[in-house]
Amino acid sequence: MANSKYEYVKSYGVEDEIFLPNLIVVRIDGCDFQRFAEMHEFEKPNDEVALNLMNSSAVSVSEEFPDIVFSYGFSDEYSFVFKKTSKFHQRRASKVESIIVSFFSSVYVMKWREFFPHKELRYPPSFCAKVISCGAIYVLQSYLLWRQNDCHTNNLCNTCLWELIIKGGKTESEALELLKVIDVVKHNENGSPVRRLRKKLRIVHSKNIAGISFWNKHKCLRNELGSFSKDIAKVEPDFLKSFQFEKRLMPSTWIVIRIDGCHFHRFSDVHEFVKPNDEQALKLMNSCAVAVVKEFQDTVFAYGVSDEYSFVLKKDSQFYQRRASKIVSVMVSLFTSMYTMKWKDFFPERDLKYPPYFDGRAVCYPSSEILRDYLAWRQVDCHINNQYNTCFWQLVKSGKSKSEAQNFLKGTLAGDKDKLLKQFGIDYSKLPVMFRQGSSTFWDKGDIIMINNNKPSDENSQNKVVIEHCNIIESSFWCAHPTILNA
């Protein structure tokens, strides 16, 4: 598809690949779970049901992402260890951590009813996540020792462990079990189911997971991660420093957190979204964005289209001391929990068939001009995609196959598409503005009144989050709302 003059903003993204041979661990941790536990009247000190919900959600994560070979959790945290050869999302840290935390949040909300049938989920839980990269197996061993030492003070240890089912000398019942775990676990790009052997998940409790007697006994751990060579008694302070290290985003820059639905092509098909635009689905996205903007008050502006949303944090934001993983993961997690929780409000007749999830990343833009170019890039993209998709689905409706429609549109310019739509009796400019221009979500501070040199009084200043479908490429929008970028 056509490029726009705003594409240069892509170069501000930084690479964050975790290079081989580093082992990837993702740790997730509940945000303000003390409050969450109190609000939901969890039993003190341990609520077994809540812990089971955590475990069950962790099991779902391991089932969904087979590169995870080992996981370990207690209280409101879980660590997921990826096999050493993993190529999961090209080993890009922000993708890896955001996807895991998003999927976990989604499952946690979806499973809530099953575990707490008589307790209403009063607000969406959120988790933060970070990648810990371990340069060698003994660093991973130290990490596990560190986490298990913390666990002992909490006294709530659980371990999830993948073990390959295909071993020599199976009994008949094991063979039957083997049949049970052959399942449709993924869909390829064309949406066709891919069948593969699932590994068998085992949950074990209170083992010394950092000890060689536990670790080396499990063949799959040795194969996928490596063996421990000796027992260790304490964690090296330098290792601890690396486990706790958090990268911070550049000061005095606009932080944009962009989240994007994972495999929403399939998700929208399975959930029968209207093509090319489903008003309810877009409204659900907007509603989650409003919740995020309200919750994280440094968010000055958000722009959404299709399955993506960009959240702009003010330039001098000190949110989580600008720690990238914290900011991205907590926003993605809250957005996902909200999406799952609110699903029924927007699709009362449709059940969620599986957990939706999103990835996220943070990019810093050094000036408001470049930030505006970033937003313009997203809005131009919205227009280009919407025009293309509207043509595409009209052609399909008229009897062309999908590949015929694709070939027909190859090389056409915006004007050609406009003409084509006219032939179908569609005036593009009359299509709903939300489809054409996307959605802008921001605090309405009564800026329009300020433009007339009247400082807004408290009554005038509405101070509420609004959703508009305006042109954010032209300067008139920004002139009418001067406080957004002067925040």
138 or 393: CB nearest ligand GTP: 393
- Which positions ≥6 away from 24 have C-beta within 8 Å? 18, 81, 82, 86, 88, 91, 96, 131, 133
71 or 306: CB nearest ligand GTP: 306
Determine if 469 is a binding residue for ligand GTP (CB under 6 A). no
Q: Which uninterrupted H or E stretch holds 49?
A: helix 48-64
CB of 389 to ligand GTP, least distance (A): 8
Partner whose footprint covers residue 76, from ligand GTP, Mg ion, none (CB < 5 to 8 Å by kind) = none
CB of 267 to Mg ion, least distance (A): 9
**Binder of ligand GTP out of 281, 284, 302, 338 (CB under 6 A):** 281
82 three-state secondary structure:
strand
104 or 309: CB nearest Mg ion: 309
Determine if 260 is a binding residue for ligand GTP (CB under 6 A). yes
Four-CA torsion 389, 393, 395, 396, nearest 10 degrees: 140
CB of 404 to ligand GTP, least distance (A): 19
Partner whose footprint covers residue 277, from ligand GTP, Mg ion, none (CB < 5 to 8 Å by kind) = ligand GTP
Partner whose footprint covers residue 286, from Mg ion, ligand GTP, none (CB < 5 to 8 Å by kind) = none
CB of 302 to Mg ion, least distance (A): 17
145 or 262: CB nearest ligand GTP: 262
**Binder of ligand GTP out of 268, 299, 333, 394 (CB under 6 A):** 268
- CA separation for the pair 82, 89 (Å, rounded): 12
Partner whose footprint covers residue 275, from Mg ion, ligand GTP, none (CB < 5 to 8 Å by kind) = ligand GTP
Determine if 265 is a binding residue for ligand GTP (CB under 6 A). yes
186 or 265: CB nearest ligand GTP: 265
Determine if 67 is a binding residue for ligand GTP (CB under 6 A). no
**Binder of ligand GTP out of 207, 222, 275, 283 (CB under 6 A):** 275
Determine if 306 is a binding residue for ligand GTP (CB under 6 A). yes
217 or 265: CB nearest ligand GTP: 265
Partner whose footprint covers residue 211, from ligand GTP, Mg ion, none (CB < 5 to 8 Å by kind) = none
114 or 345: CB nearest ligand GTP: 345
Determine if 307 is a binding residue for ligand GTP (CB under 6 A). yes
- Structure-token pair, residue 436: 């054409």
200 three-state secondary structure:
strand
Burial string for 193-204 (b: 16+ CB within 10 Å, else e) reads eeeeebbbbeee
- Structure-token pair, residue 121: 């989920």
CB of 12 to Mg ion, least distance (A): 20
CB of 52 to Mg ion, least distance (A): 32
- Structure-token pair, residue 281: 């689905």
Burial (CB count <10 Å: 0-12, 13-18, 19+), residue 83: buried
Name the DSSP letter for residue 36: H
**Binder of ligand GTP out of 264, 335, 428, 443 (CB under 6 A):** 264
- Strands 127-134 and 308-313 come out as unpaired
CB of 438 to ligand GTP, least distance (A): 11
Dihedrals phi, psi of 454, to nearest 5 degrees: -105, 115
Which residues are at the interface with Mg ion (CB under 5 A)? 260-261, 264, 307
CB of 438 to Mg ion, least distance (A): 15
Partner whose footprint covers residue 390, from ligand GTP, Mg ion, none (CB < 5 to 8 Å by kind) = none
- Which positions ≥6 away from 359 have C-beta within 8 Å? 89, 94, 95, 98, 99, 102, 259, 260, 262, 332
Asked whether the CA dihedral 450, 315, 368, 471 is positive or negative, the reply is: negative
Q: Give, in order, the Cα–Cα distances in Å from 183 to each of 192, 241, 246, 367.
A: 13, 42, 39, 50
157 or 256: CB nearest Mg ion: 256
- CA separation for the pair 219, 480 (Å, rounded): 64
Extended strands (E) in 335-418: 358-365
Of 94-102, 190-198, 276-284, 286-294, the window that binds ligand GTP (rule: CB under 6 A) is 276-284
Determine if 342 is a binding residue for ligand GTP (CB under 6 A). no
Find the angle CA(11)-CA(89)-CA(18) to the nearest 5 degrees. 75
Determine if 106 is a binding residue for ligand GTP (CB under 6 A). no
- Which positions ≥6 away from 164 have C-beta within 8 Å? 199, 200, 219, 220
Q: Give, in order, the Cα–Cα distances in Å from 301 to each of 255, 484, 486.
A: 11, 7, 12
198 or 266: CB nearest Mg ion: 266
- CA separation for the pair 464, 455 (Å, rounded): 17
Of 57-65, 215-223, 250-258, 268-276, the window that binds ligand GTP (rule: CB under 6 A) is 268-276
Interaction site with ligand GTP (CB under 6 A):
260-265, 268, 273-278, 281-282, 306-307
